[in-house]
Amino acid sequence: MPVLHLQHNNTQLFINVLILPLGTPADLIGGQTDLNGPTKPFRALVDTGATSSCITTKVASAVGLDPVGRVSVQGVAGVADLNNYLFHVGFIENVQSDQGQTLAQVNVLNREITGAEVNSGGHFDVLLGMDVLSTGTLIVHGNKHFSFSF
C-alpha cells in the first residue's frame, strides 16, 4: 500500500498529483512507475468537504481531456452545469533506489475519477474530494505533516 508523507502549512493540505487520461496503460493502474514522459504534476488541494473532485480548465487542456458530459454543481448562487471529465489520478512518491538515489514514482489510483471543470482563480489545479480521499487513509498531524495511504 503506497504511503505518502507530506507537509502542510497549518491551514490547507496540498498534494502534487498527475492527471492521466482514461487510456492510461492498464499495467499502470493500481501500480507504480517512474516519473517521466510528457506528464507533469499539478497542485491538488485536499478538501474533505467536497463530495467529488474537480479540475481546472488549465489541467483539462494540458492533459488533452475531452468532456464526457455535464455535471450539476452546487454553488452559492444555486446549481450550475459544468463540463465533466473522466481521468485517473496518480500520486507522486519519492523512493530510494538500491543505489541510494531518490526517485520519483507514480502510484496510480485503482479507479477512474470524474471531475467537473472549475475556475479556481489560480488557487489550485485539482481539488481532491471524498471520491478520492475515501479510497484510502488521510491522517493530519500537528507537526505540519500529513500522510495519505491508499
Min dist. Cβ of residue 96 to other proteins (A)? 35
Min dist. Cβ of residue 115 to other proteins (A)? 9
Element of type H or E holding 59? helix 57-63
Residues 110 and 26: beta-carbon distance below 8 Å: no
Give the footprint of other proteins on residues 114-143 (CB under 8 A).
114, 116-121, 127, 129
Residue type, 81: D
First to last CA, the chain: 6
Min dist. Cβ of residue 13 to other proteins (A)? 13
Letters for 59-78 (x = contact with other proteins by CB under 8 A, - = none) are: -------xxxxxxxxxxxx-
Min dist. Cβ of residue 109 to other proteins (A)? 13
- Asked if residue 51 binds other proteins (CB under 8 A), the reply is yes
Task: Collapse the DSSP code of 143 into the 3-class scheme (helix H, G, I; strand E, B; otherwise coil) and give the result.
Answer: coil
Which one of residues 20, 42, 44, 47 is an interface residue with other proteins (CB under 8 A)?
47
CA–CA gap between residue 81 and residue 92 (Å, rounded):
31
Task: Collapse the DSSP code of 7 into the 3-class scheme (helix H, G, I; strand E, B; otherwise coil) and give the result.
Answer: strand
Residues 108 and 90: beta-carbon distance below 8 Å: yes
- Asked if residue 80 binds other proteins (CB under 8 A), the reply is yes
Element of type H or E holding 131? helix 130-133
- Asked if residue 25 binds other proteins (CB under 8 A), the reply is no
**Cα 58 off chain centre by:** 14
Min dist. Cβ of residue 95 to other proteins (A)? 29
Q: Give residues in contact with other proteins (CB under 8 A).
A: 22, 45, 47-52, 54, 56-57, 66-77, 79-84, 86, 112, 114, 116-121, 127, 129
